[in-house]
Structure 1
Amino acid sequence: MNKKAKRRLVVMGGIIAIAMLVIVAIAGAGGSASSVTVADVATGSYQGKKVQASGVVVADSIEKDGARVTFDIAPEDESGAPNPSVRLRVGYEGALPATFGAGVVAICTGDVDNPPFLNCTEMVTKCPSKYESAEGSLTVKGLLDQADAMLFEDTKVCGYVEGDVNDASSAIRFTIESQGATLNVVYSGGLDEQIADGVAVVVSGHLDSDGNFVATEQPAIDASITK
């Protein structure tokens, strides 16, 4: 083998070695996240590490600043409610799932800062399905026809979701329609992912002075209603 051929092999070997080191470095940087509990992150030494933690989104902890949302997650107690004694602050920048809201289980993956703060880059939410009969509930038109008498009175209203379903950072979560009348629904909790445009729902709550319906429970799907 002549000197040029040997030199070429040495150069090619060096290039391959550098490429392998780069691949290994990239793979290491994007390695799999460690599955940990909220308490692990809150009390452990995970600064700079990539983790996946899940917990219930704590009510009144959601704050939105432009495209960035911050919120607290906490472990579930025996009833499925968040245990407020241990919390982890999470920051997420991106499109929120429509199911996101207070009380929903959020599975968050990202890097930990100190003090314990999770910079979330991937999020999955889980909200249990809820079904309820519309029997005994008012239509939107029926509610609005007696709006003065029904103001702040606990009741149920049924209708079909009309248009987009927003995440919990929006003032209006979705709009429902029945008998030609429409009503905006305010709700900050988690939603079943099946709730979307055209789906029949039953919502418990009350009419407020702004003409919105404030849901006090997770809106339910009524599969028995046909449009």
Structure 2
Amino acid sequence: MNKKAKRRLVVAGGIIVIAMLVIVAIAGAGGAASSLTIADVLSGEYEGQKVQVSGSVVADSLTSEGSRATFEIQPEEGSTDAASTPLTVSYDGALPATFGTGVVAICTGTVEDGVLSATELVTKCPSKYESAEGSLTVKGLLDQADSLTGEATKVCGYVRGDVLAVNAAEGYRFTLESQGATVNVLWDGGLDEAVTDGVALVVAGTLNADGTFTASEQPAIDEAVTE
């Protein structure tokens, strides 16, 4: 083999090696995220890396600016995660209706200056069913508004229209209807993913002076009623 042929072979080999390194780097950048605890992320060892972390949404931590939502998560109850400080998550996208205070959010994204900039967000929200026995219809609740405003009670009815995200501009999560009357229900926690238009719910809480109803616990699907 002459010198020119050897030189060509060396150059070709070098190009192949460089191409392989580039492919490996690209594959690594788009690879699966590392599953970490909140304490791991807060350690500062994963800056600029793609990670996945889950935690319970901290009450009153959600703020919104345009399409971007910022909130905090903390270790789930019973978790071995040793984090003492909540992790701030920034998410540019529509929050699912199941998102809310106390809900476990599974967030995937990149750590930037100690904040998780999430590109993916899913929630775990346990299903809950309850009997409507002992609860009022919406009409029955509103007919007794003078005596029931501010009092703990339960109301039942059907979801009408869209179920909104916790940060929706309307300020309420969904509208409940029964016996021809409707009430807008406020709730900052999660909702079962089965809660959609037409589903029968039982909601514990209080009627407000402005005619809205604030839920005090997760609205439950009426186990005895379907539409």
TM-score bracket for the superposition, by shorter chain length: 0.7 to 0.9
Q: Report the counterpart of residue 193 of structure 1 in structure 2.
A: 193
Q: Report the counterpart of residue 93 of structure 1 in structure 2.
A: 92
Q: Percent identity?
A: 66
User: Displaced runs of 4+ in structure 1, greater than 2 A?
Assistant: 9-26, 82-86
How far apart are 1:40 and its partner, in Å? 1.1
Structure 2 counterpart SS, 1:24: helix
Structure 2, unaligned runs of 5 or more: 1-8
Query: Contact 1:55 / 1:105 at 8 angstroms: preserved in 2?
Result: yes
TM-score for the superposition, normalised by structure 1: 0.87
* 1:171-186 equivalence runs, <5 A: 171-186=171-186
Structure 1 counterpart SS, 2:90: strand
Structure 2 counterpart SS, 1:218: coil
Structure 2 counterpart SS, 1:148: helix
How far apart are 1:77 and its partner, in Å? 2.4
Count residues in correspondence: 217
Query: Contact 1:110 / 1:121 at 8 angstroms: preserved in 2?
Result: yes
How far apart are 1:15 and its partner, in Å? 8.4
Structure 1 counterpart SS, 2:105: strand
How far apart are 1:223 and its partner, in Å? 2.5
- Measured in 2, the distance between the counterparts of 1:192 and 1:177 equals 18
Distance 1:107 1:147, change over 3 A: same
Q: Report the counterpart of residue 139 of structure 1 in structure 2.
A: 137
Q: CA RMSD in A?
A: 2.5
How far apart are 1:113 and its partner, in Å? 1.2
Query: Contact 2:39 / 2:82 at 8 angstroms: preserved in 1?
Result: no
Q: Once the two structures are superposed, what CA deviation does each residue of 1:125-183 show, in whole Å capped at 9, x if it has no partner?
A: 01111111000000000001111111010000000111111111121100111001111
TM-score for the superposition, normalised by structure 2: 0.87
How far apart are 1:191 and its partner, in Å? 1.0
Q: Once the two structures are superposed, what CA deviation does each residue of 1:23-74 show, in whole Å capped at 9, x if it has no partner?
A: 4332122111111001111124111111100000000001111100000000
Question: Is 2:104 the counterpart of 1:105?
Answer: yes
Distance 1:25 1:158, change over 3 A: same
Query: Contact 2:39 / 2:83 at 8 angstroms: preserved in 1?
Result: no
- Measured in 2, the distance between the counterparts of 1:15 and 1:199 equals 62
- Measured in 2, the distance between the counterparts of 1:124 and 1:14 equals 44
Structure 1, unaligned runs of 5 or more: 1-8
Q: Report the counterpart of residue 67 of structure 2 in structure 1.
A: 67
Distance 1:113 1:226, change over 3 A: closer
